[in-house]
Chains A and B, each alone.
Chain A
Amino acid sequence: MTEKREIICIGCPIGCMLEVSMEYNEVEVVKGYSCIKGKNYALKECTNPTRIVTSSVKVINGELNVVSVKTESDIPKDKIADCIRELRGLEVEAPVKSGDIIIKGVAGTTCNIIATKSIEKVL
């Protein structure tokens, strides 16, 4: 069964409209790209789209109320919602150092959530 998808290339400001034909979750044909970046993007975006997720986590006794965090590497796009759900209600105690692991293996992946900022403790 052939499925057709349209996506916008993010490789440059042109934003080529890419038309992708897929058969059994495999990319058959990519049309509309004007450079190799577009083709590669379409392949990745249609078979294994991933994103780096950034968010914030509540901090107890810190100089700021929240610490910024990110997934250490990109995670599958369909895991974003799960990832955010795991961050909800989470609290960490200051001090926090940039790079500290906040969640080990988020949303069933092997990817960690790490702090991207250092937060000093205040008493």
Chain B
Amino acid sequence: MEQYDIVIIGGGPAGLAAAIGAKEEGIDNIIILERENCLGGILGQCIHNGFGLHTFKEELTGPEYADRYIQKVIDLKIPYKLNTMVLNMDSDKNITAVNELDGSLEIKAKAVILAMGCRERPRGAINIPGSRCAGIYTAGVAQKYVNIDGYMPGKEVVILGSGDIGLIMARRMTLEGAKVRAVVELMPYSGGLKRNIVQCLDDFGIPLLLSHTITNIYGKDRLEGVMIAKVDENLLPIKESEEYIPCDTLLLSVGLIPENELSGKANVQLSSVTGGPEVNESFQTNVDGIFACGNVLHVHDLVDFVSEESLSAGKSAAKYVKGQMYENRIEIMAESGVRYTVPKYVNLDIIDKNLNIRFRVGNVYRDNYVSIYFDEERVIHLRKRILTPGEMETVKLSNALLKQHPACKRVTVKVEGE
């Protein structure tokens, strides 16, 4: 039985920043458990630029961004185990893991930081009918083939879903010589950044078909084509608008799911909206001493926010090891248009700096307000020219504001017309 003060599950951007946070807070007996053969997580395959503008004030590629954190982990002499898969964990923080060197590992931790990231929603989860031939990949799988292995999964491509990974892969495949026929998006708006729509699609003349979906998949051995159709206001395909597009590859960019199977085994309470744990301001879950950060908590658009959040989660875990207890004093309610908030609970007493409330909205709102209520009193009323489901919002509550409301019983976040 190995014993650690803090075990960090996952060595991607969240786990790296959490480890650094914990170490900087004075805890040395830490271990990062990483299932892949290197640290850095998904950033290693995100070779495009655009990372780090908030954190480093410069534009880095994914591997470069990861390198900065990996180097820091090495400089701080934080231990890690690669090729190590965590198989089980209970609410007493007993962890079972396995790797080739140690065999089956039994680990006891005082605190655990969940940083396992997310996975892509596969075809089955959206039940697209048709052939089960080769040539259908999630965008991230294709990205790994191209950027890590150096192999092209296809030549004539249709992409379903206009999230950022889908858009990035449209450009990437094009630059490697493939023909991207279309990006097909079910919703009337794209879930991706404007910048990506312009620089990944418009620059290369790739059509973005909004309010469209794929209704059938054809091909015997390898994909031969897909049927697309417009959808009505209920998102149901309009039969008469069906159109066949020949292609050998279909990439799916239809959403990310926080990977919380392990969290469930430790009785960590999950949000039915995000699929991630419900945490408080210190990133602690409902289980004492189990913290969560990064995409396992809720799916982010920007890695910079993952790093920021995770650094803070690492520090909270370190303080827990040193005796600090956390509690879910009051609940933050997500109402009218706000789908969820992170954190979900807050204890105003222990916040010594500002409190960031992050959330997503469920629809596109123009010229609306984001309001925050402490009990019945509206304390924040921010005009927003646009709110979209694709962009995570952050509202900062200053320490001074929090101190003015020590007796607050509940916080509510809303989108309001005026």
Contacts and interface: CB of A to CB of B under 8 A. Distances in A.
B63 A116 contact: yes
B67 to A, nearest CB: 6
A119 B48 CA distance: 17
Interface in A40-62: 51-56, 58
Interface residues on A, range: 20 to 34
A98 B67 CA distance: 9
Contacts of A51: 199, 203
B391 A13 contact: yes
A1 interface: no
B33 to A, nearest CB: 22
Interface residues of B, number: 31
Given A10-B198, A10-B199, A34-B385, A84 B175 contact: yes
Contact of B61 (A13, A34, A68, A77): A68
For the complex, would chain A's binding face be called helix, strand, loop or mixed by DSSP majority? loop
Nearest to B151: A65
Nearest to A35: B385
B47 A65 contact: no
Given A12-B386, A66-B147, A66-B149, A117 B194 contact: no
Contacts of A98: 63-64, 67
B318 to A, nearest CB: 30
B128 interface: no
Interface string B367-392: 00000000000000000011010110
Interface string B257-301: 000000000000000000000000000000000000000000000
B59 interface: yes
Contact of B63 (A11, A12, A117): A117
A66 B48 contact: no
Given A52-B59, A84-B175, A14 B147 contact: no
A13 B390 contact: yes
Contacts of B202: 8
B55 interface: no
A15 interface: yes
B152 to A, nearest CB: 11
A116 B147 CA distance: 12
Interface string B121-157: 0000000000000000000000000111111000000
Interface of A: 7-15, 34, 51-56, 58, 64-66, 68, 70, 77, 80, 84, 98, 116-118
The list of the 10 closest CB pairs from A to B, nearest first, reads A68-B47, A66-B150, A65-B150, A10-B195, A117-B63, A116-B61, A15-B194, A14-B386, A10-B194, A52-B49
Interface of B: 44, 47-49, 59, 61, 63-64, 67, 146-151, 175-176, 193-195, 197-199, 202-203, 366, 385-386, 388, 390-391
